[in-house]
Every structure is written in C-alpha cells, then in structure tokens.
Amino acid sequence: MDLLEVKAISKTYGSGEAAVSALKDVSFSVTKGEFVAVVGESGSGKSTLLNMLGALDTPSSGKVFIDGNDIFKMKESQLTVFRRRNIGFIFQAFNLIPELTVEQNIIFPVLLDYQKPNTEYLEELLTVLGLKERRDHLPSQLSGGQQQRVAIGRALLTRPSLILADEPTGNLDSRNSSEVIALLKSAAQKYEQTIVMITHSPSIARSADRMLKVSDGTLTDLGRCRE
C-alpha cells in the first residue's frame, strides 16, 4: 500500500527570463513502512521536493497524496492540523527549543495540538533513544548526537505516518551518524513509519531501502539498495 504518492510535481520560482524550475514533473510513490533516501547535488531540487512533501511550500502544479489525502486541496487550517498529526520533521540543525528540557522538547508537538502525551510511549522512546538519564537536561547540555536523538523523538512521539528528514546526519560524526540512521531504520520497522530522507552521503543513502536521485529538478529512481 502506498503511503505517499507524488504526481507530476513542478515548482517554478520567478517568472519570465528570471524563472527558475526547481522541480520538473516529478512523480513517485513510497509504500507504508519504506525508508527512502533522496540524493543529489546542492541546488538539485531535493530540499524543494522535501518542502513539497511536508506542505511547507506549494507546487506550481501537480499533487501530493499522503495516506490518500490530497494535501494541497485542504484549507490552510486543515493542513496545519494534518501536518502536525501526520508528518514528523527532522532537521539538520535540530531546531530544539533551548529553554526546554529534553522531555519538554519531545512532547512539545503534542502540547501544541492540545493533547496529552502517551506517557508509556514517551518512556519507550526515551529508552530506545538512550535519553532516559538526560530527560531533564537542556539542549546546551547535550552533544550533537544527543540533540539529534531528541529531534528524532520529537518527530516520532505523535506517531506520524510520514517522517521527513533533511540531512539528519549533516552535523554529526561518523559514529553518531550510524546511530541516528540505525534509529530511523528501527522506527520504520518497529512503528511502521514511512521515512523520506535527504542526504548528500552515498554511504548513508545506501542504508535506506531505496534510493531516489534529484538532478536539475528531475527525479530518477535508482532502485533498491543492497543489504
């Protein structure tokens, strides 16, 4: 079953002679629980694509379906709630709130939705992420790898069907990078979450189930990754 369907997405910035085509008629699908890596040179359009998948930007043409929902047909208020409940974001820069503790950062999206966090699931995540002893620490008291684990926990807590990761290992050393990728793969398998990850690293990309390549705004499916 396809969790994500992208149909003929194009994005053009500017107009006339100044027009720049960031994406050109991009189509692909991702099945539920699949871990897909998107590779490409800087400026190739891969970040623009991720922004479209997360409804952080609007395509010039084309459609994006998440779990059968045509996200760009939604009203802005509907889309805001849908995005909060169904899409988890993991950013290279972590984007943690410096005044909040580890636990507070992780549960923040749930509180934004006026919900109570599932305490049993929170404890499970803190254990899996190796953050149980750090739950009361501030981001400034954590290493880069620990901060990225907090960002992953924040993305996972709402049990979103789709996780979008933008260079999640970009600020990490090789050991921490391997740990973060292992956590993402575990999430995909254990919690049946679908992950689309941007990375500039071929070795990181090969950890995914499948690779897509974006070049000059066009997409090529590179197929399954070898075990």
Pick the more confident residue, 226 or 33.
33
Per-residue pLDDT, 114: 82
Closest CA to 209 of 4, 30, 7, 89: 30
Summarised one tens digit per residue, pLDDT across range 131-152 is 999 999 999 999 888 998 899 8
Do 90 and 151 meet the contact criterion of CB atoms below 8 Å apart? yes
Q: Mean per-residue pLDDT for 156-183?
A: 83
C-alpha distances (whole Å) from 153 to each of 19, 71, 84, 196, 199 are: 39, 25, 14, 16, 20
Residue 227 pLDDT greater than 70, yes or no: no
Residues with Cβ within 8 Å of residue 148, at least 6 apart in sequence: 90, 94, 168, 169, 171, 172, 176, 180
Task: Name the percent of the chain lying above pLDDT 90.
Answer: 49
31 confidence band (pLDDT: 50, 70, 90): very high
pLDDT digits 0-9 by tens, 46-95: 889 999 999 999 999 999 999 999 999 999 999 998 998 899 888 877 88
CATH of residue 210's domain is 3.40.50.300
Q: How many domains does the chain have?
A: 1
Counting beta carbons within 10 angstroms of the beta carbon of residue 29, is it exposed (0 to 12), middle (13 to 18) or buried (19 or more)?
middle
Query: Which domain does 143 fall in, by range?
Result: 2-224
Q: To the nearest whole number, what is the mean pLDDT of the chain?
A: 89
